[in-house]
Amino acid sequence: MEQFALDAIEAITTRPPEVYDHITVDALTPVIGAEVSGLDLSKELTDEQAAEVKRAFLRHHVLVFRDQVIDGEQHKRFARHFGELHPVALAPEGSDPHILEISADKDSRNVAGHGWHADGTADLKPSLGSMLYVTRTPEIGSGGDTMFSNMHLAYEMLSPAMKELLDPMTAVHNGLLAWEGATPPPEYDVPVNVHPVVARHPDTGRKLLFINGIYVSHIEQLSKGESRAIIDMLVKQITNTALLSCRVRWTPNTLVFWDNRCVQHHAIWDYFPHSRYAQRVAIAGHRPTA
């Protein structure tokens, strides 16, 4: 490993531990993810609990809450501690406009969230984060894990020269690309927006790699060939660098909250023909800035 990449990892792994008085936080890996216990999400959080969850969220980027029995209103109430709710695109008529139902079974031919990505980056204001609540896991007792990757560290592990190249660049995020050749329904207003390749986290100011293999069509400042080569290199950095990631193994009644601004995720579909069911609530975000 190059020294600059090692320095980036050590800057995270040598941080002093944080102290929490109202929750328990156990890291999943040294660089991303933590399990949070000591909370019952069916009940209203105290101000002290909410503040500590927010602090853990900014440090670990992915929080796992196990053995939570909650309904849709309690799910949304927890999400509102972090901001307004982000509406579901193409919500079925009569459904809750803020709860996306995600299921897979023997009749599924694809699953939501497969492939490394951040959610909805073609939007002008991509979501701040998502809370996915899984109530049914595959009957075989395993499968359906989700992986999460730290985009702060993905940027920080790049060479100084590559950072200097990428810092001023912008990329086009096209919502049509996520349909993979299929035609979206006529009522869907396909979003296309330009975002910085390197953004700053709005709460911490820390730089992060804001590139998305599912949505990005090209980098504006480069030729078509150069753009494709750089995008492919950055996507490979995300998908092939195990040190960036953590893996969450789902158990029934687990809720995972991740920061969509600085995390990519990948749902592993390794349980066909078995079933899984989840509900997702997203939180409204802001336009990414460099």
Q: Tell me the pLDDT tens digit for each residue of 224-249.
A: 999 999 999 999 999 999 999 999 99
Q: Which residues contact 256 (CB under 8 A, 6 or more apart)?
A: 62, 63, 64, 65, 131, 132, 134, 146, 248
Per-residue pLDDT tens over the stretch 58-104: 999 999 999 999 999 999 999 999 999 999 988 788 889 999 998 88
More confident residue, 94 or 18: 18
Is 84 among the domain residues? yes
- CATH classification at residue 122: 3.60.130.10
Which residues are paired to 173 by β-bridges? 193, 216
Q: How confident is the model at residue 263 (pLDDT cuts 50, 70, 90)?
A: very high
Q: How confident is the model at residue 112 (pLDDT cuts 50, 70, 90)?
A: low
CA distance 178 to 175: 6
CA distance 195 to 210: 8
Q: What is the pLDDT of residue 72?
A: 97
Question: What number of other Cβ atoms are within 10 A of residue 77's Cβ?
Answer: 17
Is 53 among the domain residues? yes
Contact 269, 182 (CB under 8 A): no
What does the block give as tokens for 175?
């919502």
Is 126 among the domain residues? yes
Contact 146, 271 (CB under 8 A): no
Is 288 among the domain residues? no
Q: Integer distance in angstroms from the first to the last C-alpha of the chain?
A: 28
Of the candidates 245, 262, 285, 269, the one whose C-alpha atom is nearest the C-alpha of residue 102 is 269
pLDDT over 90 (residue 274): no
Look at residue 155 and give its three-state secondary structure. Answer: helix
Is 100 among the domain residues? yes
What does the block give as tokens for 194?
């330009």
Query: In percent, how much of the chain has pLDDT > 90?
Result: 82
User: Which residue type sits at 1?
Assistant: M
pLDDT over 90 (residue 144): no
Of the candidates 179, 176, 180, 166, the one whose C-alpha atom is nearest the C-alpha of residue 227 is 166
Looking up tokens 């799910």 gives 75
Of the candidates 284, 266, 255, the one whose C-alpha atom is nearest the C-alpha of residue 97 is 284
Contact 195, 121 (CB under 8 A): yes
Q: How confident is the model at residue 139 (pLDDT cuts 50, 70, 90)?
A: confident
pLDDT over 90 (residue 108): no
Q: What is the pLDDT of residue 231?
A: 98
Is 199 among the domain residues? yes
Is 54 among the domain residues? yes
Is 289 among the domain residues? no
Look at residue 24 and give its three-state secondary structure. Answer: strand
Distances from the Cα of 239 to the Cα of 38, 41, 194, angstroms? 33, 33, 23
Contact 245, 150 (CB under 8 A): yes
Contact 27, 13 (CB under 8 A): no
Q: What is the pLDDT of residue 113?
A: 61
Q: What is the pLDDT of residue 109?
A: 64
pTM (two decimals): 0.95
Q: How confident is the model at residue 183 (pLDDT cuts 50, 70, 90)?
A: confident
Query: In percent, how much of the chain has pLDDT > 70?
Result: 98
Query: What's the whole-number average pLDDT of the chain?
Result: 94
Count of domains in the chain? 1
| Strand ranges across the sheet with 245-248 | 245-248, 146-150, 263-267
Least reliable range by pLDDT among 43-47, 185-189, 196-200, 257-261: 185-189
Residue 201 belongs to domain spanning = 3-283
Please give the backbone phi and psi of residue 266, each rounded to the nearest 5 degrees, phi first.
Answer: -150, 115
Contact 148, 237 (CB under 8 A): no
Name the helix (H) or strand (E) containing 100.
strand 100-104
Q: For the residues 200-222, what does the mean pLDDT come to?
A: 97
**Running DSSP on this structure, what letter comes out for residue 117?**
B
CA distance 86 to 83: 9
